[in-house]
A and B are shown apart, each in its own frame.
Chain A
Amino acid sequence: MTIQSIILAGLDGDRSWRLADYVQRGGYEALKKILAQKMTPDEVIAELKKSSLRGRGGAGFPTGLKWSFMPKNYVGDKYVVCNTDEGEPGTFKDRDIMRYNPHMVIEGMIIAGYAMGAGTGYNYIHGEIFDLYLRFEEALEEARAAGFLGSDILGSGFSFNLHAHHGYGAYICGEETALLESIEGKKGQPRYKPPFPASFGLYGKPTTINNTETFAAVPWIINNGGEKYLEAGKPNNGGTKIFSVSGHVNRPGVYEVAMGTPFATLLEMCGGMRGGRKLKACIPGGSSAPVLPADIMMDCTLDYDSISKAGSMLGSGAVIIMDETVCMVKALERLSYFYHEESCGQCTPCREGTGWMYRVVHRIEHGLGRPEDLDLLTSVADNICGRTICALGDAAAFPVKSFVKHFRSEFEYHIENKKCLVPPDVQRSGSDFFVAGKN
């Protein structure tokens, strides 16, 4: 039997976030198992390594390996931090996990605390989902009252405290060291690495940061074994993944499928292309991932390796679907504006480069492009890559390079003809916003 759903399995509506419902679904059994069987931290980490779980926040770093970097015999506080900042355009999966299954994240974080010897955790929740910040606080209260959080959890002698911290509108705080600065009550500006958070993290203490979905996968792995999880996906790409599908499909939304599922299957699950129009392009991993033309995308399976072979990234699993009504210059213009707007301004290549790229794409879109602009764009993008403190610089450069590479003729048409290949009324029709009676 193939397993399609682990994190979103068995959820039905608005009560499923409550502790009682979670427990009924088998919640907190993994924690109880670890404590009852006195599994050692090393055994927990070994199970994760077997599972081949890779970080769901974007970089896909193996989670078990990351956890093993935490110093073992450190005297003093250590921290576990959950990244629910979810600001990568196209990504909205963590919101559903927080909405329907917050206890799974809590359980995953407690297990992480146990495995890494950390006594305190924070979940950083972006401010735009403030009602879910409040819900998470309620869920924490439930867990405390039931003895799953606090001192001497279930009489085991192990203690772990967990709190919610909210953001307030800064994409850069999704970058893990900016997030730590933000928890410390400062501007969210990324830190130089090394030192890495495992040695110098929150308040200068050893810290491990994982994405919401990563933590949520942990209880299942403990309950069912790492091998089972790995088998649910494909080698080197264990388990299931939650995809956030936005754009031109009939049913945008959140879909959990096994790693390695064909992209075409996901497209079908979303009810196919809106209005039966043709797929033109897809950004498979959030706005920072390189765009892929339809034909390349249709041949991909949804896992780290397949998408990376095709020249893009699985990233956060945010699948942005664009049909033939989209002007690729305008699409890139909006993304470039975003990175320019959200650059924290610390490094010159990013601060200046993002503004420069935006201005050049803007002038092409507005009929003022010059023939040399496409080479200029590529060269600015190349000069940002690898020369900045954090990966936002690269994230700004990837869309520019990939849009120009795959849709160069469209950019050239704009420059030569001072207008778009796609007529304005066709572009306007793509959103379905003006269709009467639709709600």
Chain B
Amino acid sequence: MLSQEAQKQIDREVAKYPADQKQSAVMSALRIAQVEKGWLAPETIAAVADYLGMAPIAVYEVASFYNMYDLSPVGRFKLTVCTNLPCALSGGVHAADYLKHKLGIGFNETTPDGKFTLKEGECMGACGDAPAMLVNNHRLCGWMTPDQIDKLLAELE
């Protein structure tokens, strides 16, 4: 159920750890699977478990513990806005409000066309670039003033 390419990537992660510690690659494997499938459906979690020789419940425990895994479907672009205090001092909450208004959705909601999901995030270690936000987990954007947010939204197709 995981593609050849995903399996190849997971194999590279597994090789980092001692031979009897394949489970150490579970966070990477879940990340790789999520990038491929968009979110972590129960059958995807089962496939990861099968591939690493883990119990599905053990994989589920990991998937549900870390915030960046999505256990339900999200829009094509998941926008996670940091609203923690250091960002808030430079407009983090205002950036989130601005996005809510522009997209017509609240936190943990998806636009009707399935394009955007909005999430509230915690500190991303980028407070100097506040307001900070993540696009699909892996792209960290800083200085998200209204102009910049407009530009980003226009660019995401």
Q: Are B123 and A432 in contact (CB under 8 A)?
A: no
Q: Are B86 and A168 in contact (CB under 8 A)?
A: no
Among candidates A90, A254, A433, residue contacting B146 with C-beta atoms closer than 8 Å = A433
Rounded to whole angstroms, the CA-CA distance of A95 and B129 in the bound complex is: 12
CB–CB B84/A338 < 8 A: yes
The smallest beta-carbon distance between A45 and chain B, in angstroms, is 26
Q: Which of A170, A321, A431 has the most CB of B within 10 A?
A: A431
Interface flag for A438 (CB, 8 Å): yes
Among the 9-residue stretches B24-32, B99-107, B110-118, the one with 4 or more Cβ atoms under 8 Å from chain A is B24-32
B85 at the interface (CB under 8 A from A): yes
* Residues 134 to 174 of chain A near chain B (Cβ within 8 Å): 163-171
Q: Is the CB of A185 within 8 A of B86?
A: no
Contact with A along B129-141 (1 / 0, CB 8 A): 1110010011110
Q: Is the CB of A129 within 8 A of B67?
A: no
Are the CB atoms of A127 and B68 closer together than 8 Å?
A: yes
For the side of the interface on A, what is the size category? 35 or more
Which chain A residues lie closer than 8 Å to B128 at the CB level? 92, 244-246, 252-254
Partner of A320, one of B66, B85, B124: B85
Q: In the complex, how many angstroms separate the beta carbon of B74 from the nearest chain A beta carbon?
A: 14
| Bitwise interface map of A from 282 to 316 toward B, beta carbon under 8 Å scored 1, else 0 | 00000100000000000000000000000000000
Q: How far is B137's CA from A247's CA once the two chains are assembled, in angstroms?
A: 24
B91: A residues at CB distance < 8 A: 431-433
User: A182 near B: Cβ within 8 Å?
Assistant: yes
Interface residues on B, range: 35 or more
Please report the C-alpha to C-alpha distance between residue A88 and residue B124 in the assembled complex, in whole angstroms: 9
Q: Is A439 an interface residue, CB under 8 A from the partner?
A: yes
| Residues in B whose Cβ lies below 8 Å from that of A248 | 89-90
- Nearest residue (CB) in B for A253 is B128
| CB proximity of B117 to chain A, nearest CB, Å | 15
A335 at the interface (CB under 8 A from B): yes
Q: Bound complex: CA of A287 vs CA of B127, how far in Å?
A: 12
Q: B69 contacts the other chain (Cβ, under 8 Å)?
A: yes
Contact mask for chain B residues 81-93; partner A; CB cutoff 8 A; 1 contact, 0 none: 0011111111111
The answer to whether B27 and A187 touch across the interface, beta carbons within 8 angstroms, is no
Residues 59-109 of A contacting B (Cβ, < 8 Å): 77, 86-92, 94-95
Q: Which residues of A contact B66 (CB under 8 A)?
A: 127, 167-170, 188
With A92-B128, A128-B140, A187-B65 in contact, is A438–B145 under 8 Å at CB? yes
- In the complex, are the beta carbons of B85 and A287 less than 8 A apart? yes
Partner of B85, one of A164, A335, A341: A335
Would you call A185 and B125 a contact (CB within 8 A)?
A: no
Tell me, yes or no, whether A126 is within 8 Å of chain B by CB: yes
For residue B36, give the distance in angstroms from its CB to the closest CB of chain A: 15
Could you list 13 further interchain pairs (A-B, Cβ under 8 angstroms) beyond the known A87-B122, A89-B85, A166-B27? A89-B86, A89-B123, A127-B31, A129-B124, A169-B122, A184-B23, A184-B24, A186-B58, A318-B86, A331-B85, A334-B85, A431-B89, A432-B90
Which 8 residue pairs spanning A and B have beta carbons closest together? A433-B91, A169-B67, A185-B23, A169-B68, A431-B91, A246-B86, A246-B127, A163-B16
